[in-house]
A and B are shown apart, each in its own frame.
Chain A
Amino acid sequence: AQSVSQHNHHVILSEAASLELGCNYSYGGTVNLFWYVQYPGQHLQLLLKYFSGDPLVKGIKGFEAEFIKSKFSFNLRKPSVQWSDTAEYFCAVNDHTGRRALTFGSGTRLQVQP
């Protein structure tokens, strides 16, 4: 069975600070990895995803994530956060066996202070 760990539950940053949110998964096979964001009062939306190729993936709004297979990690980064990045961020995984359901991490609440 898959599982996803997001160790940072609540992160507080000032505007212009750099961001890195951790995501580790447990699954021995080939995986697809996703980062979703939920802005206050809004629905979940996809930031970026990785399934093959270049392990450095660029997403919307200046976010990127790096897949490191040896570390079972898919950390989300942004060089300079803005107040509008205040949201909850979810890492998710599914695998290449065809089961399409996403297994989500517990989420990281990011608060950016102006």
Chain B
Amino acid sequence: DAGVIQSPRHEVTEMGQEVTLRCKPISGHNSLFWYRQTMMRGLELLIYFNNNVPIDDSGMPEDRFSAKMPNASFSTLKIQPSEPRDSAVYFCASSYGHSPTDTQYFGPGTRLTVL
């Protein structure tokens, strides 16, 4: 299996621009998670989907962030407008099942730099 695929791997943009991060979960997995990693806050959950439906978006920082999962094999995380404080590594993870004990498989991450 190819694992969780994220694109782009690196993104450099200017403040005020729209940024779209993409994730393809492992085939057959029914849950998808977006995490953000920063030096100040470490790894924190932004949002997760179960069967394409957002279940918990309590970690989404503000209205500038939005996430969609139009089908079981694709999700996007959009930041509009972007700000320098959004600079971080954004990870996507997927899992199979409905239990909190299910293993989450992480993608390689997208390193976002907002100038």
| A99 near B101: Cβ-Cβ < 8 Å | no
- For A99, list chain B residues within 8 Å (CB): 56, 100
CA distance A6 to B62 in the complex (A): 28
Interface size on B, residues (CB 8 A): 27
| A63 contacts the other chain (CB 8 A) | no
CA distance A49 to B95 in the complex (A): 14
Contact indicator per residue, chain B 33-53, by CB within 8 Å of chain A (1) or not (0): 101000000111100100000
Partner of B42, one of A94, A101, A106: A106
Of B99, B104, B105, which is in contact with the most chain A CB atoms at under 10 Å from its CB? B104
| A80 contacts the other chain (CB 8 A) | no
- For B90, list chain A residues within 8 Å (CB): none
Partner of A94, one of B100, B105, B108: B100
Q: For chain A residues 80-99, which have a beta carbon within 8 Å of chain B?
A: 90, 92, 94-99
Q: How many A-B residue pairs have CB under 8 A?
A: 59
Interface size on A, residues (CB 8 A): 25
| B102 contacts the other chain (CB 8 A) | yes
Partner of B101, one of A43, A51, A105, A107: A51
| B100 near A104: Cβ-Cβ < 8 Å | no
Q: How far is the CB of A42 from chain B (nearest CB, A)?
A: 7
For the complex with contacts A96-B100, A100-B55, 4 further pairs of A-B residues with Cβ separation under 8 Å are A32-B101, A99-B100, A100-B95, A101-B56
By Cβ-Cβ distance, the 8 closest A-B pairs, closest first, are A104-B43, A44-B106, A101-B45, A51-B101, A43-B108, A94-B100, A106-B42, A43-B106
